[in-house]
Amino acid sequence: MVKFILRRIMMMIPQLFVLSVLIFLLAKAMPGDALTGQLANNPKMDAQTLAEMREKLGLNDPLYVQYTRWIKNLLHGDLGLSYVHQQPVTDLLAGRMWNTILLSLCILVLTYAIAVPLGVISGRWQDSWADKLIVGYSYVSFATPLFIFALIMLFLFGFKLGWFPTGGSVDIQLEEGTFDYYISKLNHLLLPSLSGALISTVGIIQYLRSEIIDTKVKDFVRTARAKGVPEAKIYSRHILRNSFLPIAAFLGYEITGLIGGSVFLESIFSYPGIGQLFLQSIMQRDYSVVTALVMISGLATLIGTLLSDIILSVVDPRIRID
């Protein structure tokens, strides 16, 4: 088991290398550079100084030199300097990163907490009115764009009903570490994560439903029935465990989706996380921040698939590698 996980982690190294090269090249391929954004528009800045600054920053070096410099710094935990914010990218990310991780975890937990029971009901009582209702909900949620749904949620529960705060990640008057501080943090998390979760359940519900429908007519389920196993146990011991396999595999991709979703959610709920920062940085051409964020989301995706593989190997003995 340990060997399998280690081997699986080793596989991530070439993946990460390719990813970093791609990101670096893409960043370079984008029009303009760090100096075009704000400095070049400054009328006091002349072309001569700009060229000197470019030379000084190493922007005229060959690509591979620039790449090795970037990757070396990256490995030392130095993600460069944000030209817009005039501070190291790592400092910029520190607090926001935790906010985003917290939000993503919240969405993930809520999504599964909503989708798994619904999927099970749907699959077990296939074609019942409950099933039709659940399938209906999942299709409607699938067709609803996240940014519109989040706006509606914000308008309804944030402004109209006033049940939830409408922005930020915590009440700024509260002192960090107190009980109220954490409650306030949770309170700020609820509406954005609920908005994210409610419309990302479709994949899990549909997968689980069709898996259960497939599994419940399998021969081994009939064998279990012939043993006299009660219906509830048929589901918990035989059908569900077999049906959860693809859901476990789904988890990794879910993480990828969360990163995309956080860009919308954080912007709409003015939640200070990396998604919000990402959008701002693109608009301000703050490339060192953008590349750092793309690198991080790439890493998160790889970790997601790693998690999927590990979970899958725990629950399915057939793919366990000794």
Partner 1 sequence: MKRSVLQIESLRVSFRIQDEYYAAVDDVSLTVHENEVLAIVGESGCGKSALALSIIGLHPPERTKLEGAVVFKGKNLLTQSVQALNQIRGKDIGMIFQDPLTALNPLMTVGKQIEESMDYHTTLSTAEKRNRTLELLEHVGIPNPSQTYDRYPHELSGGMRQRIVIAIAITCNPALLIADEPTTALDVTIQAQIIRLLKNLQQQLNTGILLITHDLGVVAEMADRVAVMYAGEIVELADVHTLFTRPLHPYTRSLLQSIPSLQTPKETLHVIQGIVPPLTKLPRTGCRFRSRISWIHESKHEPHPILREVEPNHWVRCTCYQHFYFPDGGEKA
Contact residues: partner 1, CB under 8 A = 217-220, 222-231, 237-238, 241-242, 315-318
284 CB-contact burial (10 Å; exposed 0-12 / middle 13-18 / buried 19+):
middle
Question: Residue 172, Cβ neighbours under 10 Å: how many?
Answer: 7
Q: Which is nearer to partner 1, 15 or 126 (CB)?
A: 126
Check if the beta carbon of residue 166 is closer than 8 Å to that of residue 156. no
Q: Which is nearer to partner 1, 172 or 217 (CB)?
A: 217
> CA-CA-CA-CA torsion for 187, 192, 193, 195, nearest 10 degrees?
130
Q: Which is nearer to partner 1, 93 or 240 (CB)?
A: 240
Residue type, 246: P
Q: Which is nearer to partner 1, 307 or 315 (CB)?
A: 315
Cβ 233 to partner 1 shortest distance, Å: 8
d(C-alpha 141, C-alpha 203), whole Å: 10
Q: Which element (helix H / strand E) includes 81?
A: strand 81-82
Cβ 231 to partner 1 shortest distance, Å: 7
Cβ 222 to partner 1 shortest distance, Å: 6
Handedness of CA 87, 88, 94, 97 (dihedral sign): positive
Residue 50 neighbours by CB under 8 Å, 6+ apart: 35, 39, 40
Cβ 241 to partner 1 shortest distance, Å: 5
Cβ 230 to partner 1 shortest distance, Å: 6
Tokens 């956080």, located at residue: 262
Q: Which is nearer to partner 1, 238 or 285 (CB)?
A: 238
Span between the terminal Cα atoms of the chain, in Å = 6
Q: Which is nearer to partner 1, 143 or 217 (CB)?
A: 217
Cβ 129 to partner 1 shortest distance, Å: 15
